[in-house]
Amino acid sequence: MHMSSGEAKRTLIARALVHEPKTLLFDEPSNALDIGAQFQLRDTMRELAQSGLAILLVTHHVSEIIPEIERVILLRAGRVMEDGTKEKVLTEKNLGELFGAKVRLERHDGYFYAM
106 lies in which domain range?
70-115
Q: Cite the DSSP H helix spans in 18-115.
A: 35-50, 86-89, 92-99
Per-residue model confidence as pLDDT tens digits over 45-87: 999 999 999 999 999 999 999 999 999 999 999 999 999 999 9
Do 58 and 75 belong to one domain?
no
- What percent of the chain has a predicted confidence (pLDDT) above 90? 80
Q: pLDDT at position 12, please?
A: 84
Taking the C-alpha atoms of residue 44 and residue 24, their distance in angstroms, rounded to an integer, is: 12
Domain count, the chain: 2
Do 6 and 62 belong to one domain?
yes
Pairwise pLDDT comparison (9 vs 101), residue with the higher score: 101
3-state secondary structure of 114: strand
As a whole number of Å, the end-to-end CA separation of the chain is 39
| pTM of the predicted structure, to 2 decimals | 0.86
Q: pLDDT at position 3, please?
A: 76
